[in-house]
Amino acid sequence: MACIKYYMSLLSMAICLTTMAATSSVLASPPAVKAAYWPSSSENFPPSAIKTSLFTHIYYAFLNPSNITYKFEITNSTAILLSNFTTTLHHKTPMVKTLFSIGGGGSDSSLFALIASNPQSRKVFISSALEVARKFGFDGLDLDWEFPKTPKEMHDLGHLFHEWRLAIDNEAKATNQPPLLFTAAVYFSVDFFIDTIYRKYPVDSIIQNLDWVSPMCFDYHGSWDNTTTGAHAALYDPTSNVSTSYGLKSWLRAGVPESKLVMGLPLYGKSWILKESNSNGIGSPAVAIGPGEDGVLVFYEVEEFNKKNGATVIYDLESVSTYSFVGSTWIGYDDPISTTIKIGYAQALGLRGYFFWAVSFDHEWKISTQASRAWILNDWNETP
């Protein structure tokens, strides 16, 4: 009974935050973004399986340009995937807007640095991206460059954004079509304040040229440190600035409008093997990464693991995250409760919306449904 009252108080907190945000909203604000990335490797989860009533935008992840021509060289098999993706999602009820995302975590950062460094390579790359978008019926494009490594690369990124926006606007006028949406997935913070080489995103160019940016508010902890458990998408961290609250506020402090910020949320967790099974909280000593590829378990795998093994599940109020443990295995992740609190927080800040990585990772649409219900700020039946 006490547990139920506790969770109800958390939900009440989220509702209060959401109501505060909604009452301060103005009608001129753009409609909400409820987005998710669809990994093109999802063989058992085709676009037709996506419950579009929970989303406004779906990203195709990923495409990458040739390292020789800087163009997108689309194979026949990829062309079929792209056509099926846009056709399926545009014909579902309700329909969603589609974007294709360029890059991704496994892409070659140096290739994007090379492309962005030269006006001619930027032109070839941008032209090819627009051609792919129109040929396959996409509504927009997204750049997920992980990550520019130097101040010069950030400077070049600003030029790339500017020239890309000009090309989008010129193409729309020439073809008498609506301009393509233009977005970017970015680091959780506006600057790389914990890296050896300090650099900051080109904020002015982002404000002027992108429809929105999507801070990736996850992967704060992982297999690169197998000595300590961690809340890899913590809303708050009392011991450091590596948290979603700090990251989002850094973008706002830098001058990025609330209407151009879309908060990233994970549909996966990170696992560790505990050093001592009786020391099992966030920040407890660990000796190795846990189950899953590179210690990663998607949400439906977390749910299955917890049920099969009778794991203890704990909601951590301090970080706004959830973790489970059984024996020496520890998993940190977000569940519907922590996601709801984060949604309320984002709305209290007045943000544009949220996105998930990745749509195929949910379990029976539990988190996606809760997030969509919780987001009421500027939520009407229109997608930007």
Query: In one letter, which amino acid is 226?
Result: N
- State residue 253 phi and psi, 5-degree precision: -60, -30
| 331 and 324 Cβ atoms separated by less than 8 Å | yes
Closest alpha carbon to 171 in 133, 208, 198, 206: 133
Distance separating alpha carbons of residues 247 and 238, to the nearest angstrom:
14
Q: Which residues contact 347 (CB under 8 A, 6 or more apart)?
A: 17, 18, 20, 21, 22, 375, 376, 377
For residue 57, give the H/E element and its range: strand 57-63
Distance separating alpha carbons of residues 141 and 103, to the nearest angstrom:
11
Distance separating alpha carbons of residues 339 and 7, to the nearest angstrom:
13
Asked whether the CA dihedral 182, 186, 192, 198 is positive or negative, the reply is: negative
Distance separating alpha carbons of residues 22 and 297, to the nearest angstrom:
34
| 15 and 376 Cβ atoms separated by less than 8 Å | no
Query: In one letter, which amino acid is 195?
Result: D
- Max CA pair span of the chain: 66
C-alpha distances (whole Å) from 326 to each of 90, 214, 279, 309, 329 are 44, 34, 11, 7, 6
Residues annotated as catalytic (active site), given as ranges: 146
Distance separating alpha carbons of residues 355 and 46, to the nearest angstrom:
19
User: Tokens 């163009």 appear where?
Assistant: 71
Closest alpha carbon to 296 in 222, 224, 244, 355: 222
Closest alpha carbon to 114 in 68, 177, 168, 62: 68
- State residue 333 phi and psi, 5-degree precision: -165, 180
Q: Where are the beta strands (DSSP E) in 135-261?
A: 140-144, 181-186, 212-215
C-alpha distances (whole Å) from 195 to each of 40, 148, 244 are 31, 12, 17
